[in-house]
């Protein structure tokens, strides 16, 4: 059992999907029940990953390895370290909650909808557990398909435009990434005489800086579009606005993290020389900082509730990429924690929009106002999500932001000083949104009798709130599982980082 645990986690949604296909399409309740059951089971089976994970072991755990396409050197290798563990847990929980949140909002093509979600679930978990580059690429592309349909079929008025933009945009990135992967693949053959996509094997490659840089930029396009980093972000507002609630939640909470994860799992360890190349580091840090400030400023001005949260994602993900390219333990650990945090808080913010959209069918901020009076529970949950997103201490966001900024500060004071302005602006756009939607008098008569959160809706929010408090008050377990993999990553990119620190004692200013 234990040696196939990870495969079970990976394929539970797919197995559920197989059964789902044989259920009668007209019995919507049965389909919903089954999908929820499968998603919940998917979450439950992932729990042992966390409880049996050994934080003191720096290597991959729950590893499974089997040949898949021997002629091409493709293998089925999966395994997780602390970084992927957290992202897998995020995926199984958020996946379940977004399926739960769809209960009343989706009424058309119910069977297809849940089928897509279950397929998506396996695809996302696959991305985070694959240790064979080919396998990774397969999962990476699989994710696109259900998301395309979720936006394109169950989306809003401009769903086709948004769906096609989403697919073409990300496809363009992944094609270049594929070229990068193939380059490594052929280089491996040249240096070692056999073909393989195994990441551990590819790490043994000795590549000149020039080639590493080339491959880095190829990977960069794939990952940066996914994150999305400035200026590749314009697919995101459209996709978010048009996607159904659960689609937005998954998109923000999990899908974007595939990009940041790609940097951590592939770009940094496989291309260490390029990753500390000054031009590249500076460029990525600058793009991250632009994303932080620019995303926040544009967010400030949105009149569409969902678009506002979408742009805030650009800002928050800017913190995550900035942390990665601080290239020190604080920056990277903070980045991973912030990826989880963003999943929790932005997930909540999109769920909140879903709740209100289902009642009023508009996302126009001006259509609201004074909702706190009508829906007090809803207002409390929203306040909670807002504070978590704004990085209030004792809630999750602060822990990630603080650690990232500490790391960024170690790398460059200027970066950190600029990035901290994002914290100010973050408070501004959220508070203003809250004021315009929740506070004041009820200005629109149609808002007067909106029902407050139902028990099912509360059940969707409760785990996220608890999780936010847990990370905010006691994040130590998270830092513990991240310590080893993050240290290895830093060691890999900057071999002298830890020894240098010991020799130099308390170094003053370590520019990467």
Partner 1 sequence: MQHLWLIPTLPLIGFAVNGIFGKRFPKSTVSAVAVGSVVLSLLWAVKVLAALGSLDTPHVEQYFTWFQSGDLRFGFDLQVDRLTAVMLMVVTGIGTLIHIYAVGYMAHEGGYARFFAYMNLFMFFMLILVMAANYLLMFVGWEGVGLCSYLLIGFYFLKQSATNAGNKAFIVNRIGDFGFMLALFLIVIHFRSLEFSVVLPAVSGKPEETLNLIALLLLVGATGKSAQIPLFVWLPDAMEGPTPVSALIHAATMVTAGVYMVARSAPLYQAAPLAMEVVALVGLATAVFAATIGLLQNDIKRVFAYSTVSQLGYMFLAAGVGAFSAGIYHVMTHAFFKALLFLGAGSVIHALEGEQDIRHMGGLRKKIPVTYATLMCAGFAIAGFPFTSGYFSKDEILLAAHHHHPWMYWVGVVTAGMTAFYVFRCLFLTFFGDYRGHHHPHESPWVMTGPLAVLALLSLGGGFIKIPQYLQPVLPREETAHDLSLVVIASSAGLIGIALAYYLYVLKPALPDQLAQSFRGLYRLVYNKYFVDELYDAVFVRPTVTGSRTVLWRQVDVGVIDGIVNGVGAVARIAGGVLKLIQSGNIRSYATWVVFGSLFLIVAMGLLVVNTAAGGAR
CB of 212 to partner 1, least distance (A): 10
* 77 strand-pairing partners: 65
State which residue, 59 or 210, has the beta carbon closest to partner 1. Answer: 210
The two tokens of residue 61 are 């755990």
User: To the nearest whole angstrom, how small is the minimum distance from the Cβ of residue 48 to partner 1?
Assistant: 25
Q: Which two tokens stand for residue 340?
A: 């989880």
Residue 189: CB minimum distance to partner 1, A: 11
Residue number with CB closer to partner 1 (135 or 310): 310
Give me the sign of the Cα torsion angle 315, 318, 320, 323: negative
DSSP structure class, residue 102? T
Closest approach, Cβ 165 to partner 1, in A, equals 7
| Secondary structure, 3-state, 338-379 | HHHHHHHHHHHHHHHHHHHHHHHCCCEHHHCCCHHHHCHHHH
Which of 152, 185, 186, 286 lies closest to 229, judged by CA? 286
Our CB check for partner 1 shows the closer of 112 and 304 to be: 304
Rounded to the nearest whole angstrom, what is the least distance from the CB of residue 220 to partner 1 in the complex?
Answer: 17
Q: Interface residues with partner 1 (CB under 8 A)?
A: 165, 168-169, 183, 186-187, 190, 207-208, 210-211, 214, 231, 233-235, 294, 297-298, 300-302, 329-330, 333-334, 370, 372-373, 387, 392-394, 398-399, 402-403, 405-406, 409-410, 413, 416-417, 420-421, 423-424, 427-428, 431-432, 435, 438-441, 473-476, 479-480, 483, 506, 508-509
In whole angstroms, the minimum distance from the beta carbon of 198 to partner 1 comes to 20
**331 and 448 Cβ atoms separated by less than 8 Å:** no
By C-beta, is 64 or 483 nearer to partner 1?
483
Nearest of 260, 244, 306 to residue 117 by alpha carbon: 244
CB 404 → partner 1: shortest distance, Å?
A: 10
Q: How far is CA 445 from the centre of its chain?
A: 38
d(CA 344, CA 478): 15
Nearer to partner 1 (CB atom), residue 237 or residue 343: 237
Bridge-based pairing state of the strands 74-80 and 61-69? antiparallel
Inter-axis angle of helices 305-324 and 396-411, to 10 degrees? Answer: 40
Instruction: Kindly tell me which of 356 and 387 has the beta carbon lying closer to partner 1.
Output: 387
Count of beta carbons in the 10 Å neighbourhood of residue 393: 12
Smaller CB distance to partner 1: residue 50 or 290? 290
- Residue 417 C-beta: closest distance to partner 1, Å: 6
- Is 268 or 408 the residue whose CB approaches partner 1 more closely? 408
Q: Which is nearer to partner 1, 129 or 405 (CB)?
A: 405
Q: Which residue has the tokens 């091409």?
A: 72
Closest among 167, 168, 205 to 185, alpha carbons compared:
205
The nearest distance, CB 382 to partner 1, in angstroms, is: 13
**Which residues fall within 8 angstroms of residue 196, CB to CB, at 6 or more apart?**
73, 75, 185, 188, 202
Question: Quick one: which H or E segment has residue 442?
Answer: none
Least separation in angstroms between residue 121's CB and partner 1 is: 29
Q: How many angstroms separate the CA atoms of 304 and 475, rounded?
A: 34
Given the complex with partner 1, which of 135 and 438 has the nearer CB atom?
Answer: 438
DSSP line for 461-491: HHHHHHHHHHHHH--HHHHHHHHHHHHHHHH
What letter would DSSP give residue 198?
A: B
């Amino acid at each position: 059992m234990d040696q196939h645990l990870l495969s079970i986690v990976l394929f539970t949604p797919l197995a559920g999907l197989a059964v789902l296909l044989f259920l009668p399409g007209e019995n919507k309740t049965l389909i919903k029940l089954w999908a929820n059951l499968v998603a919940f089971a998917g979450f439950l089976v992932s729990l042992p990953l966390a409880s049996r994970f050994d934080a003191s072991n720096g290597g991959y755990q729950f590893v499974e390895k089997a040949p898949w396409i021997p002629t091409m050197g493709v293998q089925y290798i999966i395994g997780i370290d602390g970084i992927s563990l957290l992202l897998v847990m995020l995926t199984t929980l958020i996946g379940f909650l977004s399926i739960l949140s769809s209960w009343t909002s989706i009424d058309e093509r119910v069977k297809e909808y849940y089928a897509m979600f279950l397929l998506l679930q396996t695809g996302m978990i696959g991305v985070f557990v694959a240790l064979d580059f080919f396998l990774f690429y397969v999962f990476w592309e699989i994710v696109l398909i259900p998301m395309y349909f979720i936006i394109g079929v169950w989306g809003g008025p401009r769903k086709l435009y948004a769906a096609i933009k989403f697919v073409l945009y990300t496809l363009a990135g992944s094609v270049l990434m594929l070229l990068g992967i193939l380059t490594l693949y052929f280089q491996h053959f040249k240096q070692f005489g056999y073909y393989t996509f195994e990441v551990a094997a590819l790490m043994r490659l000795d590549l000149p800086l020039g080639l590493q840089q080339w491959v880095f930029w190829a990977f960069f396009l794939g990952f940066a579009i996914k994150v999305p980093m400035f200026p590749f972000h314009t697919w995101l507002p459209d996709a978010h606005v048009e996607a159904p609630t659960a689609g937005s939640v998954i998109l923000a909470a999990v899908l974007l993290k595939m990009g940041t994860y790609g940097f951590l799992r592939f770009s940094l360890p496989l291309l260490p020389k390029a990753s500390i190349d000054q031009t590249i580091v500076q460029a990525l840090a600058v793009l991250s900082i632009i994303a932080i400030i620019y995303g926040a400023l544009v967010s400030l001005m949105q009149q569409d509730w969902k678009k506002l949260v979408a742009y805030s994602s650009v800002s928050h993900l800017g913190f995550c990429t900035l942390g990665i390219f601080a290239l020190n333990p604080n920056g990277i650990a903070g980045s991973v924690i912030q990826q989880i945090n963003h999943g929790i808080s932005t997930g909540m913010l999109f769920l909140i929009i879903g709740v209100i959209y289902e009642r009023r069918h508009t996302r126009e901020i001006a259509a609201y106002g004074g909702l706190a009076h009508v829906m007090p529970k809803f207002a409390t949950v929203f306040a909670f999500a807002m504070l978590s997103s704004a990085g209030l201490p004792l809630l999750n966001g602060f822990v990630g932001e603080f650690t990232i900024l500490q790391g960024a500060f170690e790398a460059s004071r200027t970066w950190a000083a600029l990035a901290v302005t994002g914290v100010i602006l973050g408070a501004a756009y959220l508070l203003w949104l809250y004021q315009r939607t929740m506070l004041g008098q009820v200005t629109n008569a149609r808002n007067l009798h909106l029902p407050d959160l139902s028990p099912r809706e509360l059940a969707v929010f409760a785990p996220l709130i608890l999780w936010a408090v847990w990370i905010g008050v006691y994040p130590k377990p998270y830092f513990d599982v991240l310590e080893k993999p993050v240290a290895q990553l830093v060691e890999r990119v900057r071999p002298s980082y830890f020894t240098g620190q010991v020799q130099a004692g308390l170094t003053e200013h370590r520019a990467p």
